[in-house]
């Protein structure tokens, strides 16, 4: 019996040691152990679905190990450390791999002591993109996290649950994996923005709706009574026909003129091109007067002019002009013939070609012009006529302008003009050689302030020296202006000034210089009511004598548009000529009333 007692004690001690080892193993398996891969920084963050799948796998291992310990409590099972190698970032193990080695197991030694066990590592901070996604979907993720937490607690509290609990956990794991995959897909789509991703965003419900195009208010026209025009080819043609009657105190504007009532017809038109690069403009007018009662008047005058602008390469532009004008000699002209039934018809054909070049702020312009005047015969009251062929002449000029653009609105310039006037007949009826040489110089300023103020003005000197030494040269100051000023919308004020050399075939006389100035104003009182005013001053200085003429004129008119195509117009005018030469003074007062039609 003494020999059997030690064996019994040894057996009891073995059973106690085996039970102690079993209890320690169970506690070690239940305590959460950080993943070895996370401690050694071998991989990034692990998804929640992978953590849940790993916990389920551990639960199954605990149940299997518990059954083995009951059969062989003294046997210690060694497991070799196995590290999961993901095939791609964010991949999770399959079910068959989950039943095998875990990615969260640490390398274990058979004789490991409690002192060798390391402390749990603090979980890594989630990524910024993940955190934003969690904040955006807080409600959904909160509900999903609550469900997962409950599943985790059930798995921890019942490690030895039956098969139906394991099936429920597996189902939850599958749902968690699906949710995790959807979350990862959302993260991937957030990073992979496309060009039209902004267009596919949902509309803001608080944004105001835009009304339909049909419901929008039509913008009123700036001038609802302006001529619409007629499209002819590539030109927009705007004709205007005016028909009315004029009552005047001096029908022919002469010192011997008498009163009369005249029927007047005026036709005006403009044609503007709609080309893409270059531009063209054609303007013209014609005026016809015929006596209804009083002094006999039957005359016609008109002009047509075309301008073509062509943009060339290297900041070079070409401007071409061509015109024709026909008008009877004025009875107040120094060359007017007394005692005639009709003054001779004066016709003018003129044209010019100019080139403009910009080099930095410098502006250059070279213009060549030709103007030919020819006169018809004067018809006398006795039925005979007087030829005016000795007055036919041609003027050739070349003008060079140089300017410097101080600012986009101001460009001062200087101008030099050279010319030659050639008469068709070298000697007139009094044997005077009337051909001459022309020389002029001017300085001026160009203004370009848009609709507010635009145009140019210049002052200088002009001289024409005749070939005949018996005749003095025609010389004097030169003043030219063409300005438009709009102080406010609907109001336009214009100022024009010209200096012309008038030749003559009167014996022992060279001619004169005529200065003409006009100040005009136009005011749109209402959309269908327009007022016009004009003031004129002409000064004629005779060469070789102290003779001079001064002509003052004033005009005011109204146009009332009945519709876009027709309107009533009226105007009053007064004109007075005062001269220190005998037989030239006159006064003429007129009033006009008519109907204007436009298209």
Q: What is the pLDDT of residues 123-176, one digit of tens each?
A: 444 544 455 555 555 544 444 444 444 444 444 444 444 444 444 444 444 444
Predicted structure pTM score: 0.64
Report whether 336 contacts 343 (CB < 8 A).
Answer: yes
Q: Mean of the pLDDT values across residues 408-434? A: 93
Report whether 464 contacts 436 (CB < 8 A).
Answer: yes
Q: Give yes or no for residue 272 having a pLDDT over 90.
A: yes
Residue 553, burial from CB neighbour count under 10 angstroms (0-12, 13-18, 19+)? middle
Residue 382 DSSP code: T
pLDDT for the residue numbered 465: 95
202 contacts: CB under 8 Å, gap ≥ 6: none
Q: Give yes or no for residue 571 having a pLDDT over 80.
A: yes
Residue 364 — pLDDT band, cuts 50, 70, 90? very high
pLDDT for the residue numbered 80: 43
* Angstrom distance (rounded) from CA 172 to CA 166: 10
At 447-468, the pLDDT tens digits run 999 889 999 999 999 999 999 9
CA distances from 294 to 134, 187, 299, 524 (A): 103, 100, 15, 36
* Angstrom distance (rounded) from CA 126 to CA 82: 26
* Angstrom distance (rounded) from CA 524 to CA 490: 5
Report whether 386 contacts 337 (CB < 8 A).
Answer: yes
From the CB of residue 250, how many other CB atoms can be counted at a distance below 10 Å? Answer: 20
3-state secondary structure of 215: helix
Mean pLDDT rounded to a whole number for the chain: 78
At 291-307, the pLDDT tens digits run 999 988 889 999 999 99
Which of 33-47, 62-76, 199-213, 455-469 bottoms out in mean pLDDT, i.e. has the lowest? 33-47
Q: Give yes or no for residue 275 having a pLDDT over 80.
A: yes
Residue 11 — pLDDT band, cuts 50, 70, 90? low
pLDDT for the residue numbered 28: 55
3-state secondary structure of 25: helix
Residue 407 DSSP code: B
* Nearest residue to 431 via CA among 376, 507, 373, 357: 507
Q: Give yes or no for residue 76 having a pLDDT over 80.
A: no
pLDDT for the residue numbered 593: 97
From the CB of residue 453, how many other CB atoms can be counted at a distance below 10 Å? Answer: 15
Across the beta sheet with 340-342, the strand order is 340-342, 378-380, 385-386
Crossing angle of helices 128-136/138-157, nearest 10°?
100
Residue 62 — pLDDT band, cuts 50, 70, 90? confident
Residue 46 — pLDDT band, cuts 50, 70, 90? low
261 contacts: CB under 8 Å, gap ≥ 6: 245, 246, 247, 248, 291, 292, 293, 294
Report whether 588 contacts 257 (CB < 8 A).
Answer: yes
The highest-confidence range among 64-68, 230-234, 388-392, 418-422, by mean pLDDT, is: 418-422
Q: Give the helix/strand (H/E) hosting 599.
A: none
The number of angstroms, rounded, from the C-alpha of 182 to the middle of its chain's C-alpha atoms is 49
Which of 157-166, 234-243, 556-565, 566-575 bottoms out in mean pLDDT, i.e. has the lowest? 157-166
Residue 234 — pLDDT band, cuts 50, 70, 90? very high
pLDDT for the residue numbered 74: 44
pLDDT for the residue numbered 20: 74
Residue 85 — pLDDT band, cuts 50, 70, 90? low
Which of 198-212, 319-333, 400-414 bottoms out in mean pLDDT, i.e. has the lowest? 198-212
The number of angstroms, rounded, from the C-alpha of 261 to the middle of its chain's C-alpha atoms is 53
Q: Which residue has the tokens 């597996």?
A: 170
Residue 222 DSSP code: S
Q: Give yes or no for residue 572 having a pLDDT over 80.
A: yes
R_g of the chain, CA atoms, integer Å: 54
pLDDT for the residue numbered 15: 72
Report whether 256 contacts 278 (CB < 8 A).
Answer: no
Torsion angles phi and psi, residue 222, rounded to 5: -65, -40
Residue 285, burial from CB neighbour count under 10 angstroms (0-12, 13-18, 19+)? middle
Which of 171-175, 282-286, 549-553 bottoms out in mean pLDDT, i.e. has the lowest? 171-175
């Amino acid at each position: 019996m003494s020999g059997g007692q030690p064996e019994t004690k040894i057996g009891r001690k073995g059973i106690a040691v085996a039970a102690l080892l079993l209890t320690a193993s169970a506690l070690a398996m239940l305590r959460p152990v950080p993943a070895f891969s996370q401690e050694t920084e071998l991989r990034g963050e692990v998804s929640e679905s992978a953590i849940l799948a790993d916990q389920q796998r551990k639960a199954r291992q605990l149940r299997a190990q518990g059954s083995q310990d009951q059969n062989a409590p003294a046997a210690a099972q060694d497991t070799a450390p196995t590290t999961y190698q993901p095939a791609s970032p964010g991949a999770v193990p399959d079910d068959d791999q989950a039943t095998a080695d875990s990615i969260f197991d640490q390398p274990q030694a058979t004789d490991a002591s409690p002192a060798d066990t390391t402390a749990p590592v603090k979980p890594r901070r989630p990524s910024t993109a993940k955190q934003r996604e969690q904040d955006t979907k807080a409600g959904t993720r909160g509900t999903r996290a609550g469900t997962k937490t409950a599943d985790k607690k059930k798995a921890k509290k019942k490690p030895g649950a039956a098969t139906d609990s394991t099936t429920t956990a597996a189902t939850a794991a599958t749902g968690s994996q699906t949710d995790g995959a959807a979350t990862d897909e959302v993260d991937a789509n957030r990073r992979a923005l496309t060009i039209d991703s902004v267009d596919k965003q949902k509309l803001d419900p608080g944004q105001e709706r835009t009304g339909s195009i049909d419901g929008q208010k039509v913008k009123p026209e700036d001038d609802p009574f302006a001529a619409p025009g007629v499209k002819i080819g590539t030109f927009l043609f705007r004709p205007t026909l005016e028909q009315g009657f004029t009552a005047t105190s001096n029908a022919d504007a002469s010192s011997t003129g008498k009163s009369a009532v005249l029927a007047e017809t005026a036709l005006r038109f403009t044609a503007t091109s709609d080309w893409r690069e270059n531009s063209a403009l054609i303007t013209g007018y014609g005026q016809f007067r015929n006596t209804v009662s009083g002094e006999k008047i039957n005359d016609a005058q008109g002009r047509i002019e075309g301008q073509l602008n062509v943009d060339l390469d290297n900041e070079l532009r070409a401007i071409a002009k061509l015109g024709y004008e026909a008008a009877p000699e004025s009875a107040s002209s120094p060359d007017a013939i007394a005692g005639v039934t009709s003054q001779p018809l004066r016709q003018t054909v003129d044209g010019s070609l100019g080139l403009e070049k910009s080099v930095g702020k410098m502006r250059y312009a070279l213009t060549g012009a030709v103007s030919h005047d020819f006169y018809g015969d004067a018809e006398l009251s006795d039925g005979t006529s007087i030829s005016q062929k000795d007055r036919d002449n041609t003027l050739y000029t070349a003008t060079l302008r140089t300017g410097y653009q101080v600012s986009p609105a101001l460009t001062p310039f200087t101008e030099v003009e050279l010319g030659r006037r050639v008469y068709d007949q070298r000697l007139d009826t009094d044997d005077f050689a009337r051909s001459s040489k022309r020389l002029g110089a001017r300085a001026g300023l160009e203004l370009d302030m848009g609709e507010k103020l635009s145009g140019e003005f210049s002052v200088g000197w002009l001289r024409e020296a005749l070939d005949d030494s018996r005749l003095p040269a025609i010389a004097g100051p030169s003043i030219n202006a063409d300005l438009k000023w709009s102080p406010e919308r609907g109001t336009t004020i214009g100022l024009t000034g010209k200096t012309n050399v008038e030749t003559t075939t009167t014996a022992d006389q060279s001619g004169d210089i005529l200065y003409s100035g006009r100040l005009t104003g136009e005011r749109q009182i209402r959309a269908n009511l327009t007022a016009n005013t004009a003031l004129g001053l002409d000064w004629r200085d005779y060469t070789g004598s102290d003779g001079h003429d001064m002509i003052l004129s004033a005009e005011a008119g109204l146009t009332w548009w009945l519709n876009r195509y027709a309107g009533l117009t009226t105007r009053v005018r007064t004109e007075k000529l005062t001269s220190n030469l005998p037989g030239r003074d006159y006064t003429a007062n007129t009033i006009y009333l008519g109907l204007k039609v436009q298209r």
